[in-house]
Amino acid sequence: MLKKILIGIAAVIVIFLIIVAMQPAQYRVVRNATIPAPPAVVFEHVNDLHKWDAWSPWAKLDPAMKTTFEGPQAGTGAAYSWVGNKQVGEGKMSITESRANELVRLKLEFIKPFASTATTEFTFKPEGEQTSVTWSMSGDKNFLSKAFCLFMNMDKMVGGDFEKGLASLKSVVQVAAK
């Protein structure tokens, strides 16, 4: 009887490992918003990392978060590091590409609560008197990440924060335009 139980447990473990191994190796989270301002105005609030605290959804989760800046004020080479509570963790983001009024690409490095790296992009497209802003994050999933994502969906974990951030960005841009 004990032998059958052990064989059953081993079979469940093997099946679980196979299911994890078959999960996609990458993830991508995307959200979009339309902001009533020209791309140049919206771009300025994303390209200058010093301005992120005004609209970032994570800045509001830990007002005591410690931040440091490196490199230029804005654009390629600008970097922002943070250390915060368990909701925001610890990490660094660096602008790796900046094309005026079109694109801001960042390397996002999480240190805590778990180490990982992702690519984040903001694209800006004019739509008449408004700007369509797309915020995306993509990255690779190692075996542990694949197992974690069986129980926690990245889109559900981060997508809501992106929506809040884009709504805040819209508010900040509208106030700055007045």
Report pLDDT digits (tens) over 122-164.
999 999 989 999 999 988 777 677 667 666 777 777 888 989 9
Whole-prediction pTM: 0.82
Residue 47's contacts (CB-CB under 8 Å, 6 or more residues apart) are 74, 75, 78, 95, 98, 104
With respect to CATH, is domain 26-177 assigned 3.40.50.300?
no
In sequence order, what E strands does 11-159 have? 26-35, 66-70, 79-83, 90-99, 103-112, 116-127, 130-140
Q: pLDDT tens digits for 84-114?
A: 898 889 999 999 999 999 999 999 999 988 7
